[in-house]
Structure 1
């Protein structure tokens, strides 16, 4: 039986989650406790050692991000809860952490809990993904991003990203060290990258302008690693004006 802890400063939300778990997942999940604040959350996580935590981003005494940052280990599955669909949520999606938007949709709730049950495991790298989301939440400058693949969480510094390439609902990050493919669309990836550095040069490409060396007559940008990425004809003039 999976032990669940619900952390939210709104009692009706905590009650709603408990009721849904009782109705849909009574054979798999048991709610062991609940908490409305950062202080109580930390205490109850240490006491109960839950397997699954529902964690509101804005709670009494701080944020859900602070709860995670103050834990030495994260030995549980995590589902964030929030009333705001903002940059922090985009970062959470990129890091493949689960989240629920208030008011909580029945189908999204069921899907998130089912994923948590299937993925039940210890993953200490969750700290990195939460740290990045927290930086976006606080509006701080970003120098890294966390990418989730089937194998691991990858912490990638933005300065190491040469370009990103779209393949349907997947995006491949071509970095100075490796290639990393994630199951997220390029549009979402682009929204988290610094627009002063990264440039959408084509429907399928976002390039780090610091790696661009020249523009060819064939309509491509040549990068420092020797690779070429295409430039959409309708974007050509604006891109050349910006880069050269």
Structure 2
């Protein structure tokens, strides 16, 4: 690859059967794997390989498979059309010692406005095949999906090309808080609270979403919301 001279393309495949043969023969370090392929899906291919398969970067035109992709321990998940900056992030992750890094800041995040958002501001939430334009206050929660985030709002959800830390920096801190390492919630969307294990809390949000707070985050929640 001209833009990434450290990457050598060992082979290509047009379907899952060919991909399986090449993976077993070539033993590559990294595979760019489409999810929807002729005959089998990318997930079915990985299942057939057992526990021994190379590092995987999923590539797809659909965001609906993102959460399952990371259940396979994917290095990253790229939505088509693939932006060069996102490809660079994915390869940086793949070249890390263990193949997995903490969710990286989006390289394009440096182009974001620095003005804090308010609840009444409207924002674009976009995936490869859908765009929503919603008020910040209608965002119920967000969950980290590698370098992406799944954002819930009203009766829908989208996986967007922003890491959770980028969303946290942009959303108004007086209304949004980290529920845990991988989830961000809108305090205005909390419907009920109940005690949970080891001093934690379980929150029910709009849209039938539930989120668990650790003891530490439950303490933060109490401090922010107790009279």
TM-score by length of 2: 0.48
When Rg is computed on C-alpha atoms for both structures, the one with the higher figure is 1
